[in-house]
Amino acid sequence: MIGIIGAMESEVNGLKAALQNMKTKTTASVEFCAGTLEGKDAVIAEAGVGKVNAAVTAQIMILEYGADAVINIGVAGGLESSLRIGDIVVADKVVEHDMDTTPFGDEPGFITGLERVYMECDERITKILADSAKELGAHTIVGTIASGDQFICRDDQREKLIGVFNAAAAEMEGAAIGHVCVMNGVRFGVLRAMSDCANDDSIVNFPEFEKSAAALSIEIVKRAVEKM
């Protein structure tokens, strides 16, 4: 079973529409849509924005639906210098950039219990996602995606994420899903289409480009699921 999680309606509706034999169930205020996508058993959910919503949704997918692979899709702010709106970042690892126990001598992003800063994405899923994006002609890079409960829209925030974590993109869910998957021993991948460049122009650019960027990520994931 492949679990697919997006934060917003625009990030998952196209996938729900493609599900065959769909059955829906609402748990913890989240609607889960299970069926067949590109010939594979899949469950899709709109988690809501932020790390807690994403984590709750991922855990339910794993426990109630037996998801043995989870893909997080959607939009993000680009940090890597070559990225433009509509480009793609596929994570090879994710980090919770707002996790901070540095007063105790830990590295920024260190997660007590998991004893790590970065959570590694599944190599095969990462390759499938990146190859699928490139096949659709998207400028695609593989790198670190940083997640936190903040919309990154200031140059000082942007520079911190680049300087501390060498992050290629910033969003609000991927690392939380990665955290849950690591705890459960489940493979995961994260794909993001750039809706803005995580800078002072983001408040203007995000509403304009969010839907088109989300639509691209949906097409990539449909192609990727077929290969899994």
- Which 8-state DSSP code applies to residue 149? S
Let me know if 196 is a catalytic residue: yes
* CA 86 – CA 193 distance, rounded (Å): 6
Q: Taking residues 170-178, what's their average pLDDT? A: 97
Is 64 an annotated catalytic residue?
A: no
For the record, the structure tokens of 20 come out as: 């065959």
Q: pLDDT for 180-200, tens place per residue? A: 999 999 999 999 988 876 665
Domain that holds residue 49: 2-227
Catalytic-role residue among 173, 196, 201, 219: 196
Q: Which residue shows structure tokens 């060498």? A: 166
Would you tell me the crossing angle of helices 202-227 and 9-18 to the nearest 10 degrees? 30
How many Å apart are CA 1 and CA 211, to the nearest integer?
A: 27
- The burial of 23, by beta-carbon neighbours within 10 Å (0-12 exposed, 13-18 middle, 19 or more buried), is given as exposed
The structural domain count of the chain equals: 1
pLDDT at 204: 46
* Residue found by looking up tokens 């750039």 in the block: 194
pLDDT in tens, 110-141: 999 999 999 999 999 999 999 999 999 999 99
The pLDDT assigned to 195 comes to 80
Mean pLDDT of all residues in the chain?
A: 92
Distance between CA atoms of 168 and 174, rounded to whole angstroms?
13
Q: How much is the pLDDT for 210?
A: 63
191 closest CA partner among 176, 207, 169: 169
- Entry pTM: 0.92
pLDDT tens-place string over residues 145-169: 999 999 887 888 989 999 999 999 9
Residue of 11, 122, 171, 173 with catalytic role: 11
Q: Which of 200, 214, 217 is nearest to 158 (CA)?
A: 200
For residue 103, give Cα distances in angstroms to 94, 97, 100, 116: 22, 15, 8, 16
Q: What is the CATH number of the domain that holds 157?
A: 3.40.50.1580
